[in-house]
Chains A and B, each alone.
Chain A
Amino acid sequence: MNEQIKMENNTCFHCGDNCGNNTITFQEKSFCCNGCKTVFEIFNENDLTCYYDLQNSPGAIPKEIEGKYDFLTQENIIEKLTEFRSDTLEIVTLYIPHIHCSSCIWILENLNKLNSNISDSQVNFGKKTVRVTYNSTETDLKSVVLLLSSIGYEPYISLDDFKSGKKHINRTLIYKLGIAGFGFGNIMFLSFPEYFEINEFWLEQYKHMFRWLMFALSIPVVFYSAQDYFISAFKGLKAKLLNIDIPIALGISVLFVRSTIEIAFDIGSGFFDSLAGLVFFLLVGKFFQQKTYDFLSFERDYKSYFPIAITKINKEGYEETIQVYDIEKGDRILIRNEELIPVDGILINGKAKIDYSFVTGESQTLSKHSGDKLFAGGKQTTGVIELEAIKSVEQSYLTQLWSNDVFSKNKEDGFTDITNTISKHFTITILSIAIIATAFWLFTDPSKAMNVFTAVLIIACPCAIALSAPFTFGNLLRIFGKLKFYIKNASVIEQLAQINTVIFDKTGTITSNKSSNAEYDGEQLSDTENLVLKNSLRGSNHPLSRTLYYILDEYNIITLENFEEHIGQGIEARHDDINLKIGSANFVGNAAENAVLNTTVHVSSNDVYKGKFTFYNSYRKGVSKLFNKLKKHFDLVILSGDNEGERENLKKLLPAKTKLIFNQKPEDKLEYIKFHQSEGAKVLMVGDGLNDAGALAQSNVGIAISEDVNVFSPACDAILDASKFHQLYSYIIASKSAIKIIKWSFLLSFFYNIIGLYFAITGQLAPVVAAILMPLSSISIVVFTTICTNILGRKLK
């Protein structure tokens, strides 16, 4: 039953792709290609078909990888990649982008059934990694990687893995939170008796022991859990900035000192419960704000794209694998299909068709001939080429962009967030209130003066203020994450709320990578001509043929009598009495064609010129609508690395005031943004490729658009899934609303502060008042911001 439905839909049993016309049927299941069928066979033989029960069509098509992983036999590379190595055992953690469902976890944790030398494999779903332990005398890293690739889980190994070394997991915040929570809970229980049973004989007898126990429990809370606040306050004072941590640190120290004095001289029971509660709530806020997307990286540079090793052809003509960093000027290197060129070089041998979309943002591949210069960052898209390196990796054109200062600068420096803006006034106000109140009491009742002074500092400790921003932003980060808008950290939301200029890249950002449109211009083709055209395109692997093939209407499949592909020129095909030529203007015999900027494919039938197909970018859905919404509030600019071919199209599509700037190199984009920032613009840059990396880093907020968030996007502040591109405006508006929510919660916490200050100034601050007021204000702020942001999030959907 299940299979039948699948047969009808004609989707692949393994990967779920449409099988098209080349369905392979095996065991009554359809497969789109031999690769998928092979994976099924492997699982079938090893009793692992449970894989398909957990999730429908969970797999990926295994890729052609011949020779790609030869470098994994090299000692120094294994040494760098493995986590642990002994004579018989190796442990390696591999990043596998395809991990996406429970089937993936299941199959990867059952690797030992496919290779008995693998003793253990453990998946971390969030990070999309698998940690494999294997017997290194019987098998090796290369075989493990090949095994994974053969079942469609090809690991991604890049230059980044090579340098990073052993990763250190930072767990200090959890420890601090645990200790504060432990202290808070226990101190609360110990302080309860004194709140309820005053002057009871039994309590009088034991209260000292209770108090000193509370003191003991509060020591680790103050000196370990709260240490970040002291450090930050000290740094703030040193830099002459009144940040929010100063009143917090002041409050904590006053609480601790006063409570200790109180119990030492038997004046009262102290405020230990409020103290531990304060630290605990503050840390919960910190923890909540620390939402991280383990599977995303916001810090990528070219190293994540580059391979670790490359095949070098040495002087004797043998191939050997060397590390990318070891490439020297003059080395001959071999680049296979789909491999990235890691250094600038000169093409020696082979037919190069280079996809430079990483570097320049240009959408079309470029054909290069022997003797031409190739830049690092280009991807070879057909066959094998040989080139001679003319620079080393670090000096290549693409990698030099990363030596620009913007990449070493931290965007958060020099940005005062909303909490610290308010804390400046807050701290000064609180200190003046404390001093005035103390002065007043010095004249009326000096014995109370010290009591009032400390009480003001305790009650004014801005716990609620410090919690507003973390909880609002933390919750919004989660809501955005569910809507496929992944933000690096909370301060990005604040910056996003302040922008006034939006700059877009063109290729891949407002245009979609997947499809382009073609328009036919010329003499109408007859039905048979159309039939031959479609069928000849079917046989060609050229990217333009593939695109055109999918755009044209469906026709029957016929056998062509003659089919010939002239590389770099076009296709010639014959059926019955029609001889069709498809390709460049020269090839088709229309020399009169003047150079145009758009990509065209020409057609002639029986040597009579018929017409041409012109390719246009296909823009993402809702681009026009989005721009019209944005134009009311922001300056709009398109900065494109492409030529001006699309200018007219864009003019029609976008609001009139949008600035269109073409032929921008990566450095030009960066400079453009820098210039406008110096004129006071707050820039949001939306881009996609490595060519935007500089601009994304320079802008106030850099958003990378990604068709598939698991595939790599350059260093940025946020990653937006392409399917949600049209929502960008509402995301910016939501960020602005978040700032409003925070301002309202500030008001709410001021209200609590005023109540507290009344008790403090009049000298009636009892520990029980503080113990009620502090958690109450904190919790109500958390509830308020959470409800507000959830309402905000509901509006977004």
Chain B
Amino acid sequence: MSVIYIVLTVSVIVGIAFFIIFLLAVKSGQYDDSYTPSVRMLFEDELVKEELKESINTKTD
């Protein structure tokens, strides 16, 4: 059997795998709110900082 069959099968499987991941992501609601996660992502740092030094004065603006 020619190697082209293997290559094609692999490429189609990879394509379909990513496609299924996309469908699952949509289904889980990942695309419903495209703004809040971008803000939430930045919070973890603030929290950690606060836990380390509780009475730290924040940077003045």
A, B from the same assembly: yes
Question: Could you list which residues of chain A lie within 8 angstroms of chain B, going by C-beta atoms?
Answer: 1-2, 47, 50, 53-54, 102, 105-106, 109, 123-127, 169, 171, 174-175, 178-179, 182, 186, 206, 209, 213
Contact of B12 (CB < 8 Å), options: A54, A123, A213: A213
CB pair A109 B12 closer than 8 Å: no
Closest partner residue, chain B, to A109 (CB atom): B40
In the bound assembly, the distance between CA atoms of A419 and B8 in angstroms comes to 42
Are A125's CB and B35's CB within 8 A?
yes
Q: In the complex, are the beta carbons of A105 and B39 less than 8 A apart? A: yes
Main secondary structure of the interface of A (DSSP, over half): helix
- A105 x B36 contact (CB < 8 A): yes
Let me know if B47 is at the binding interface, CB within 8 A: yes
**Docked-complex contact A186 and B15, CB < 8 angstroms:** yes
With a cutoff of 8 Å between Cβ atoms, the chain B residues found around residue A2 in the complex are 60-61
**A105, A123, A171, A213: the one within 8 Å of B26 (CB):** A171
Residues from chain A with Cβ under 8 Å of B58 in the complex: 53
Contacts of A125 in B (CB 8 A): 33, 35-36, 39
Q: Judging by beta carbons under 8 Å apart, are A50 and B60 in contact?
A: no
Q: Which of B37-60 contact A (CB under 8 A)?
A: 39-40, 42-43, 46-47, 50, 54, 58, 60
Given contacts A174-B26, A178-B22, contact A126 B46 (CB under 8 A): no
Assess the B8–A213 pair: CB atoms within 8 A: yes
Contacts of B40 in A (CB 8 A): 105, 109, 123
Question: Would you call B26 and A175 a contact (CB within 8 A)?
Answer: yes
Q: Are A178 and B26 in contact (CB under 8 A)?
A: yes
Q: Are A174 and B31 CB-contacts (below 8 A) given A53-B58, A106-B46, A123-B36? A: yes
Q: List chain A residues, Cβ under 8 A from B43.
A: 102, 105-106, 109
Q: Given A53-B46, A206-B4, A209-B8, are A178 and B35 also a contact pair (CB < 8 Å)?
A: no
B1 within 8 A of A: no
**Given the contacts A2-B61, A54-B46, A169 and B29 also touching, CB distance less than 8 Å:** yes
Bound CA–CA A123/B38 (angstroms): 12
Given contacts A125-B33, A169-B32, A182-B19, 17 further A-B contacts (CB under 8 A): A47-B54, A50-B46, A54-B46, A105-B43, A109-B40, A125-B36, A125-B39, A126-B33, A126-B34, A126-B36, A127-B33, A171-B26, A171-B32, A174-B31, A178-B19, A178-B22, A213-B8
How distant is the Cα of A50 from the Cα of B26 in the complex, in angstroms? 33
Sorted nearest first, the 5 A-B pairs with minimum C-beta distance are A125-B36, A53-B58, A124-B33, A102-B39, A182-B19
**Least Cβ distance of A170 to chain B in Å?**
10
Name the B residues within 8 Å of A50 (CB-CB): 46-47, 50
B23 CB within 8 Å of chain A: yes
Identify 8 residue pairs between A and B in the complex whose beta-carbon atoms are under 8 Å apart, listed by A's number: A53-B58, A106-B43, A169-B29, A178-B26, A182-B19, A206-B4, A209-B8, A213-B12
Give Cα A124–Cα B35 distance, bound, in whole angstroms. Answer: 8
Inter-chain CA distance A584–B39, complex, in Å, is: 54
**Given the complex of chains A and B, what is the CA–CA distance between A171 and B50 in angstroms?**
39
Taken together as a complex, chains A and B put the C-alpha atoms of A53 and B33 apart, in Å, by: 25
- Residues of B in contact with A, size category: 20 to 34
Give A106 to B60 CA distance when docked, in angstroms: 20
Rounded to whole angstroms, the CA-CA distance of A179 and B19 in the bound complex is: 8
A178–B23 CB distance below 8 A: yes
Smallest beta-carbon distance B36→chain A, Å: 4
A203 CB → nearest B CB, Å = 11
Across the interface, name the chain B residue whose C-beta is closest to A209: B8
**Bound complex: CA A186 to CA B8 (Å):** 11
Task: Select from chain B the residue with minimum beta-carbon distance to A186.
Answer: B15
B33 & A1 in contact (Cβ 8 Å cutoff): no
Q: Determine how close the nearest CB of chain B comes to the CB of A292; give it in whole angstroms.
A: 11
Would A1 and B50 count as touching, CB distance under 8 A? Answer: no
Report the Cα distance A126→B31, complex, angstroms.
12
Query: Residue of B at shortest CB range from A171?
Result: B26
Contacts of B4 in A (CB 8 A): 206
Bound CA–CA A2/B61 (angstroms) = 8
State in angstroms the CA–CA spacing of A174 and B22 once bound together.
10
Question: What A residues does B39 contact at CB under 8 A?
Answer: 102, 105, 125
Give, as a whole number of angstroms, the nearest-CB distance from B35 to chain A: 5
A182 and B15 contacting across the interface, CB-CB below 8 Å: yes
A123 to B8, CA, bound (A): 44
Give A126 to B27 CA distance when docked, in angstroms. Answer: 19
- Output the least CB separation between A124 and chain B (Å): 5
B12 to nearest A CB, angstroms? 7
B45 to chain A, nearest CB (A): 11
Measured CA separation A349–B19 after assembly (Å)? 67
Query: In the complex the two chains form, what is the Cα distance from A182 to B58 in whole Å?
Result: 48
In the docked arrangement, what's the CA distance between A126 and B60, Å?
29
Closest residue of chain B to A202 (Cβ to Cβ) is B4
CA distance A2 to B29 in the complex (A): 41
Bound CA–CA A127/B29 (angstroms): 14
Closest to B19 in A: A182
Which residues of chain B have C-beta atoms less than 8 A from A53's C-beta?
Answer: 46, 58
Q: How distant is A273 from chain B, measured CB to nearest CB, in Å?
A: 15
Return chain A residues, CB-CB under 8 Å to B31: 171, 174
- Chain B residues, CB < 8 A from A1: 60
Chain B residues near A186: list those with CB within 8 A: 12, 15
- Give the CA-CA distance A126 to B36 in the complex, in Å: 7
Given the complex, which residues of B lie within 8 Å of A54, measured CB to CB? 46
Within the complex, the shortest CB–CB distance from B23 to chain A, in Å, comes to: 7
For A171, what are the chain B residues with a Cβ–Cβ distance below 8 Å?
Answer: 26-27, 31-32
Nearest chain-A residue to B31 (Cβ)?
Answer: A174
- For B46, what are the chain A residues with a Cβ–Cβ distance below 8 Å? 50, 53-54, 106
Shortest Cβ distance from B60 into chain A, in angstroms? 5
- When distances are taken between beta carbons in the complex, the residues of chain B under 8 Å from A124 are 32-33, 36
Chain B nearest Cβ from A349, distance in angstroms = 47
Q: Please, how many angstroms separate the alpha-carbon atoms of A169 and B27 in the complex?
A: 10
Contacts of A174 in B (CB 8 A): 26, 31
Distance between Cα atoms of A175 and B23 in the complex (Å): 7
Distance, CA A182 to CA B17, complexed state (A): 11
B25 → chain A closest CB, angstroms: 10
Q: How far apart are the CA atoms of A47 and B47 in the complex, in Å?
A: 10
Contacting residues, chain A, for B60 (C-beta < 8 A): 1-2
Give every chain B residue within 8 A of A209 (Cβ-Cβ). 8
Question: Which residues of A sit under 8 angstroms from B23, Cβ to Cβ?
Answer: 175, 178
A178: nearest chain-B partner, CB-CB? B22
What is the bound-complex CA distance between A50 and B22, given in angstroms? 36
A50 to B51 alpha-carbon distance, docked (Å): 11
- What chain A residues lie within 8 Å of B50 (beta carbons)? 47, 50
Complex: chain B residue closest to A127, CB-CB? B33
Interchain CA distance A54-B40 in the complex, whole Å: 12
Assess whether B61 is in contact with A126, with CB atoms less than 8 Å apart. no
Least Cβ–Cβ distance between A228 and chain B, in angstroms: 18
Residues of A within 8 A of B42 (CB): 102
Q: Which residues on B sit within 8 Å (CB–CB) of A127?
A: 33
